[in-house]
Amino acid sequence: MTFEDFNFKAPLAKAIKDAGFKEPSPVQKEAIPIVLNGSDIVAQAHTGTGKTAAFGLPIINMMDCDGSVEMVVIVPTRELATQVSDELFRFARNFGVNTATVYGGSSYSRQIKHINNAGIVVATPGRFLDLLNKGEISINPKYVVLDEADEMLDMGFLDDIKEIFTFFPSSRQTLMFSATMPKQIKALAETILYRPEFVTITKSDTTNKNIKQFYYVVDERERDDALIRLMDFKNPVKSIVFCRTKKEVDRLSTFLVSQGYSAKGLHGDMEQRQREEVIRAFKRGSLETLIATDVAARGLDVSDVSHVFNYHIPFDSESYVHRIGRTGRAGREGIAVSIVTPHEFNSLKKIQKDVGSTLESKVIPTIRDVQMKQKDSLIENIKNQKISDIARELVDVLKKDYVDEDIALKLASMLYSENDIHGSDKIGKTISEVEKLFARANADRGGNRGGRNRGGRNRSGGGYRGNNNRNRSGGGNRSRNRNNTNR
């Protein structure tokens, strides 16, 4: 099955093609026809299964694009709101539809202006409810989506969501996505949905079994050294390093080049011509390492990426699954490596829970570990090296002062010095240190659990991206000289 089988409108089909999407994921195969049919839906699917496209594509295809807010997506966090908004904007921009992102951090007036110019609003519950209660906005969306419903329940947003739905018309089409189905979510579905159809996607559908996943715990100041050491040790044929921000991409690409790596950045602020040149170089193998943001790499389809490195782990599980999915393609084995700090343990645990796969804890290799890893390739290169006349003359000169063994040892030492390993010998935490950190994090979490502090909401914020009546109650090679050790 391909996306062409859904018979989307031409502008949407072009956006899908530009994004590099080819075959729909399991949740997309199941959900899209139901949504296109106009039915409400409850989809139990973990983050990372392609839910944004599962609801976004069919709704955009059905929108009238009349300048009003036709779609509202409610999500638990500002990070997810930004990601969902960005993705929906890319799908809808060929229709001239803008998206508004609503969350804490911006002025009311700017946020209201964005909503008034948008066809799609992606919002966190608190601030969105504030706008509705104060009468600052009046919208009648035809389509409403609750994404990560169980997460919003855990964060204490259930009452806010119920109140939000009292502002919406009863004739809407409502979609709910949740990783789990606790009693409160089932009760909510019975209240706000009309004769929904159900879709369930198991964890086994989420990640590629050909991808081995590892994580390494370091202090924040050790990230750069850890990345270099891991790249030296794992010796990727072709790799992608994922960063959270464009600024981080620029800094890290400059740093890697200064360390002798064949690396370039890829992000949305680059001119189209530059982006195309970088992608072509990466695909043909003249560029060894690509440093990219999630959005920039969304449509990247390269079958021979051997390693993915998460310089920072992403904010959400869907981004994690997307990132590691760049490797392990076309039946090949892939390696996914995440660099994390102790402060990111909760995010790491949530990703493991959502994707249903185990990330194995590892220790950053020492300098000797890397040297030993290089040994076999150095030996192979020496075996295959043809002996030149000038080399014979050089050895004859050296024999006047040294025995054969000393000459061989000096030349071998020279080879290793040309493949010098930078950074401290010990980087990051040991396995026992990681276990203690996890135990402490679990203890802290157990002692500090509690409901959402509703005493003072302090809600503000937003962002903007531009270009059946139903009776419901409740309304390549590095320039660095590594002596060709098959790197």
- What Cα–Cα distance (Å) separates residue 66 from each residue in 70, 71, 118? 9, 12, 10
Question: Which residues are bridge partners to 307 per DSSP?
Answer: 239, 335
**Per-residue pLDDT at 229:** 94
**Per-residue pLDDT at 418:** 59
Q: Is the CB of residue 355 less than 8 Å from the CB of residue 321? A: yes
Q: Is the CB of residue 137 less than 8 Å from the CB of residue 143? A: no
Same domain assignment for residues 410 and 396: yes
Torsion of the alpha carbons at 228, 230, 231 and 235, rounded to the nearest 10:
150
| Listed residues 332, 355, 378: the one ending a domain | 355
Q: How many domains does the chain have?
A: 3
What's at 357, amino acid-wise? S
Same domain assignment for residues 181 and 235: no
Domain that holds residue 383: 368-418
Across the beta sheet with 360-362, what order do the strands follow?
Answer: 263-266, 289-292, 239-242, 307-310, 334-340, 211-217, 360-362
Written as six digits, the tokens of 3 are 């996306």
Other C-beta atoms closer than 10 Å to the C-beta of 170 total 13
**Per-residue pLDDT at 301:** 67
Same domain assignment for residues 35 and 168: yes
* Residue linked to tokens 């990111």: 344
Q: Half-sphere exposure of residue 461, counting CA atoms within 13 Å on the CB side?
A: 19
Same domain assignment for residues 259 and 150: no
In a domain, 152, yes or no: yes
Strands 99-102 and 463-465, by their bridges, are antiparallel
3-state DSSP call for residue 123? strand
The helix (H) or strand (E) run that includes residue 281 is helix 272-284
* Residue linked to tokens 């969304």: 298
Q: Is the CB of residue 480 less than 8 Å from the CB of residue 232? A: no
Written as six digits, the tokens of 231 are 């790249």
Q: How far is Cα 128 from Cα 111, in angstroms, rounded to an integer?
A: 10
* Residue linked to tokens 């530059």: 274
The CATH number for 251's domain is 3.40.50.300
Same domain assignment for residues 201 and 219: no
Same domain assignment for residues 241 and 316: yes
Same domain assignment for residues 59 and 7: yes
Same domain assignment for residues 138 and 267: no
Same domain assignment for residues 152 and 248: no
Angle at 154 between CA 150 and CA 155, to 5 degrees: 115
Question: Which residues are bridge partners to 41 per DSSP?
Answer: 175, 197
Is this model's pTM higher than 0.75 or not? no
**Per-residue pLDDT at 469:** 45
Residue 44 is given by DSSP the state E
**Per-residue pLDDT at 458:** 41
Using CA of residue 279, residue 280, residue 284, residue 286, what is the dihedral sign?
negative
Q: How far is Cα 234 from Cα 231, in angstroms, rounded to an integer?
A: 5
Our measurement of the distance from residue 399's CA atom to the centroid of its chain's CA atoms, rounded to an integer in Å, reads 58
Q: Half-sphere exposure of residue 425, counting CA atoms within 13 Å on the CB side?
A: 2
Question: Which residues are bridge partners to 102 per DSSP?
Answer: 123
What's the first-to-final CA gap in the chain, in angstroms?
Answer: 38
In a domain, 446, yes or no: no
In a domain, 470, yes or no: no
Q: How far is Cα 357 from Cα 173, in angstroms, rounded to an integer?
A: 34
In a domain, 433, yes or no: no
**Per-residue pLDDT at 447:** 53
Other C-beta atoms closer than 10 Å to the C-beta of 105 total 12
Q: How far is Cα 449 from Cα 198, in angstroms, rounded to an integer?
A: 32
Same domain assignment for residues 72 and 39: yes
Question: Which residues are bridge partners to 117 per DSSP?
Answer: none
Other C-beta atoms closer than 10 Å to the C-beta of 296 total 23
What's at 486, amino acid-wise? N
Same domain assignment for residues 154 and 103: yes
In a domain, 129, yes or no: yes
In a domain, 44, yes or no: yes
- Summarize pLDDT for 169-228 with one digit per residue, the tens: 999 999 999 888 888 899 999 999 999 999 988 655 556 678 899 999 999 999 999 999
Q: How far is Cα 429 from Cα 309, in angstroms, rounded to an integer?
A: 18
Question: Which residues are bridge partners to 242 per DSSP?
Answer: 292, 310
Q: Is the CB of residue 83 less than 8 Å from the CB of residue 105? A: no
In a domain, 428, yes or no: no
**Non-local CB neighbours of 268 within 8 Å, separated by 6+ positions:** 246, 293, 295, 296
Angle at 48 between CA 47 and CA 49, to 5 degrees: 95
Q: How far is Cα 310 from Cα 243, in angstroms, rounded to an integer?
A: 7
3-state DSSP call for residue 239? strand
Using CA of residue 224, residue 230, residue 233, residue 237, what is the dihedral sign?
negative
Same domain assignment for residues 321 and 268: yes
Q: How far is Cα 419 from Cα 483, in angstroms, rounded to an integer?
A: 7
Written as six digits, the tokens of 240 are 């992608």
In a domain, 24, yes or no: yes
Give the chain's residues under pLDDT 70: 46-48, 105, 202-208, 297-301, 330-331, 416-423, 441-487
